């Protein structure tokens, strides 16, 4: 088990870095995917951009929201990767 980060701002900073990495990985996978995946990405991407914008106004509650968004983006990336790997 990893040790928790020391404060909400540090947690949010860590989550924001993960959001940015996921965004870049998803963009690559979407390029390889079909229209259904592109439509799903079109709905998710603005939320990732919002997370980046709101990170400066972070509170503990917004930290949870960012954490939840990271989980959703990770799930999307996993599903997208499976899709692109099976269509090759």
pLDDT tens digits along 27-79 = 888 888 888 888 888 999 999 888 888 776 767 777 788 888 899 999 999 99
Model pLDDT for residues 4-24, shown as the tens digit of each residue: 567 888 888 888 899 999 999
E strands in 4-82: none
Cα–Cα distance measured from residue 45 to residue 33, given in angstroms and rounded to the nearest whole number: 15
Range of the domain at 78: 9-86
User: Is 69 strand, coil or helix?
Assistant: helix
Residue 1 lies in a domain: no
Residue 49 lies in a domain: yes
Cα–Cα distance measured from residue 9 to residue 26, given in angstroms and rounded to the nearest whole number: 25
Number of domains the chain contains: 1
* Torsional sign, CA 10, 15, 20, 24: positive
Q: Are 25 and 14 in contact (CB under 8 A)?
A: no
Joined tokens for residue 75: 């799930």
């Amino acid at each position: 088990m990893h040790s928790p980060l020391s404060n909400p701002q540090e947690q949010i900073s860590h989550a924001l870095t993960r959001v940015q990495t996921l965004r870049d990985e998803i963009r690559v996978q979407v390029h390889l995917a079909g229209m259904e995946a592109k439509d799903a990405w079109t709905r998710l991407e603005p939320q990732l951009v919002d997370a980046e914008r709101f990170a400066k106004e972070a509170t503990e509650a917004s930290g949870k929201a960012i954490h939840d968004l990271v989980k959703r983006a990770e799930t999307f990336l996993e599903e997208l990767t499976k899709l692109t790997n099976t269509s090759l």
